Amino acid sequence: MADQLKNSLPKKPLLEIAGLTRHFGGLTAVNGLSLTVGQGELVSVIGPNGAGKTTLFNLISGLDAPDAGSVTFEGRDVTGLSAERLAALGLARSFQHGRVFGNLSVLDNVLVGAHTRLRAVKPRIPLVGPLVELALALIRPPSVRAEEERLRAEAKEIVRMFGERLTPRLDKPAHSLSYANRRRVEIARALALHPRLLLLDEPTAGMNPTETAEMLEIIRGLKARGLTILLIEHKLDLVMQLSDRVVVMDHGARIAEGLPAAVASDPAVIEAYLGHKAVGAANQDTGQDTGQDGDAAVPVRIAH
């Protein structure tokens, strides 16, 4: 009973977004959107293509600046901060279209994610800091070598989370990997930052059902460790299994939010995916598949 009561209590917000808005000419990509993500929560953002999901991630992660609204991270206003400064605060992300350094090995790609945690080779000395950093990198004193070995061991441990998909390819250049493996490397790199908040933009894109199931278990494991995750995903079966809450966007605005089962049966959500309020009811009455493609039909199947 005590555990149930504890789990039912609201989680302290780690991320708070209020009235976030972004215009591109005459197009409003994000329209006055507000949401919160509590510590240890996994919140999914879903919606049709063009709903503004990736633009939202860009605004949160510092790749773009909003025209209005605010982003608060751990109680600090971080609206408009650069991606570099947000990374130093513990915010990491993956991208809708995987971004890796093709000429670097898998291991070195992952090590890039640990750059904000370097201490021995990055002394905080005003003005001459960059010169001292260069000298330390060339001389490599014991403190620098020890830090490198520690980070390499951590990176290898992260890669092992992905099993045989990445471990045998540790020293292979990233350009030689399959699309799905490049996505895995990108997520491993984000984890090397030791993030407080992890933004995952379609982590299973390009993956077959077996690979998707593997990724589901990896994300489930990260959630079990207490990592806070904001997820964009089109594979709604995965969303329904992993999410504490689901936020639905359409035309840049939030049209629904709540527990996965409630959101899946929300008429506004069904309309956003299928284009007509009556489609869900008609489908239930006739038992016919109304979707024009797999993605469109998913919300109705879940609602059943």
- Ordered by where they begin, the domains of the chain are 2-264 (3.40.50.300)
> Could you give the CA distance from residue 105 to residue 276 in angstroms, rounded to a whole number?
48
Give residue 10's pLDDT band: very low, low, confident or very high (50, 70, 90).
low
Bridge partner residues of 91 (DSSP): 197
Q: Are 114 and 190 in contact (CB under 8 A)?
A: no
> Could you give the CA distance from residue 83 to residue 145 in angstroms, rounded to a whole number?
28
Q: What is the mean pLDDT of residues 200-227?
A: 95
Q: Strand 27-38 vs strand 42-46: parallel, antiparallel, or unpaired?
A: unpaired
The pLDDT score that the predictor gives to residue 140 is 83
The pLDDT score that the predictor gives to residue 133 is 75
| 3-state helix vs strand vs coil in the chain, percent to 5 | 45, 20, 35
> 121-168: per-residue pLDDT in tens?
777 777 666 787 777 778 888 888 888 899 999 999 999 999 999 999
| The model's pTM | 0.83
Residue 64 CB partners (closer than 8 Å, separation 6+): 22, 55, 58
The pLDDT score that the predictor gives to residue 18 is 97
